[in-house]
Structure 1
Amino acid sequence: MKFGDFKDIIVNNSEVVLDSILDDGLLKDIPIINNLVDLYNVKTTISDKIFYKKVVSFYESFSDVNRDSFAQWNTWVNENLDSAEKIASTLVLHIDSQSDLVKCKIAGHLFKKLVEEKISLRDFEAYLYVTSTCSVRDIRKHCVDGGDQSSSTEASLSQRLQFVGFYSFTPESLSQSEKLEYEITDRGCDFINMMEDFHW
């Protein structure tokens, strides 16, 4: 089944069972989320359909995860159940709280990077926070434009993303009393690199 067909079924069918549609079973193997799949195996309300859309957006960017990495991650999960459940709970709460489907898609991308060991757990949690607190427009502009600060609009972007550690004042501007200028931080660059293969 094509992903587009799967997405349409999720949105339109009020009695869909997610784990019977996914041939590879990947979604139902993610701790906590598999319990939610079972929970939603009933007639759905409008809020349930919205939740399904969020899960689909998450899955859209997670589904191409490296399968060897995923198998290795599942082994780690079985050996570290408390830690894994905490990660999964954080992820589910994040997905459920979003009002923008793109943020759920970003969460799937972040989780894929965690499973593939491209980012640490600390970075995963920090970037989920960034996704929750910043607008999609600002995150996209930061990633797609590479943190360019050539215009006054970019300066305001720098101001808005300073509180998540993506920008800081330049040492030169701090030593002068005239105009404060920003520069991109290592964390800001790392986030851009990590989002390089994300499909906006």
Structure 2
Amino acid sequence: MNNDTLSIIESYGEYTLDYFLDEGILKDLPIVGPAFSAIKTGKSIQDRIFLEKIREFIDNVDENIKWREKFSDVDECYKISKKLVYIIDSTDDDEKIKLIAILFNYYVAGELDKDEFLYLSSIVSKSYYKFLKTLKSINDVRFSNDGEKYDSSVISHLYSIGLFDYSGSTKAQMKEGKVVKLGSVIYNLNEYGNILKQIIEHHD
């Protein structure tokens, strides 16, 4: 996306979010209204795809009276909206954008703080969504990634994006001087993994 696409400025392009927003409360809300509506977009395919991503986000944001209380600080509203634009633009799946909107609803409701919301949104954006959804099937706080209970490739991916912490390793098993089972890494679901697991379970 070029610099013009991301400009949050006074003049609007031919196609802005006003094109997608219905009249009503959502149009006047901070971030979704004043900040995102000010994104100037051109006519390129890339810009149109970006607008579709923003629309997917908006479609999953709750209309909540707490908006005005949460974003009464204009400067803070701008900072958060700008970071959201970057995250949404880098996201490659509508289901992930929907999950980011759900995280945003938790943030507005005060169930996540700003850092938790932004970090979890970044994790979701970087994830492979099919693997991310398997969080709900992980029932162990700490486990060996030996492939016996969970797909080791899935677990390795979730570890790489920040949902597990390294917690040691198992030793190789020997029999008559030969290795019969290789050692494996032990992971534990961290704070962010637990939060995201609970949210996915609740909304899936």
TM-score of the two chains, using structure 2 as the length reference: 0.69
**Which aligned pairs between 1:83-122 and structure 2 lie closer than 5 A?**
83-122=76-115
TM-superposed CA distance for 1:160, in Å, is: 1.5
Q: Secondary structure at the match of 1:182?
A: strand
**Does structure 1 residue 185 correspond to structure 2 residue 194?**
no
Aligned 8 A contact 1:155 1:182 in 2: no
TM-superposed CA distance for 1:17, in Å, is: 6.1
Bigger Rg, which one: 2
**Which aligned pairs between 1:11-160 and structure 2 lie closer than 5 A?**
18=18, 21-31=21-31, 34-39=34-39, 44-62=43-61, 64-65=62-63, 67-73=64-70, 77-78=71-72, 80-142=73-135, 144-146=136-138, 151=148, 154-160=151-157
Q: Secondary structure at the match of 1:52?
A: helix
RMSD between superposed Cα atoms in Å: 3.1
TM-superposed CA distance for 1:27, in Å, is: 4.6
Distance of 1:81 and 1:15 partners within structure 2? 24
For 1:162, which of 159, 166, 169 is the aligned residue? 159
* Partner deviation per Cα, 1:75-111 (whole Å, 9 max, x = no partner): xx33x33322111100011112222222222221111
Distance of 1:22 and 1:53 partners within structure 2? 15
Provide the aligned length of Structure 1 versus Structure 2.
176
Aligned to 1:196: 201
TM-superposed CA distance for 1:32, in Å, is: 7.2
Q: 1:197 to 1:50 in 2, by over 3 A?
A: same
TM-superposed CA distance for 1:20, in Å, is: 7.5
Aligned 8 A contact 1:27 1:59 in 2: no
In the alignment, structure 1 segments of 5+ residues that lack a partner are 1-13
Distance of 1:94 and 1:166 partners within structure 2? 18
TM-superposed CA distance for 1:58, in Å, is: 0.5
Distance of 1:185 and 1:29 partners within structure 2? 34
Aligned 8 A contact 2:29 2:67 in 1: no
Distance of 1:20 and 1:163 partners within structure 2? 36
Q: 1:92 to 1:58 in 2, by over 3 A?
A: same
In the alignment, structure 2 segments of 5+ residues that lack a partner are 1-13, 173-182
TM-superposed CA distance for 1:45, in Å, is: 4.2
Q: Secondary structure at the match of 1:181?
A: strand
Aligned 8 A contact 1:58 1:105 in 2: yes
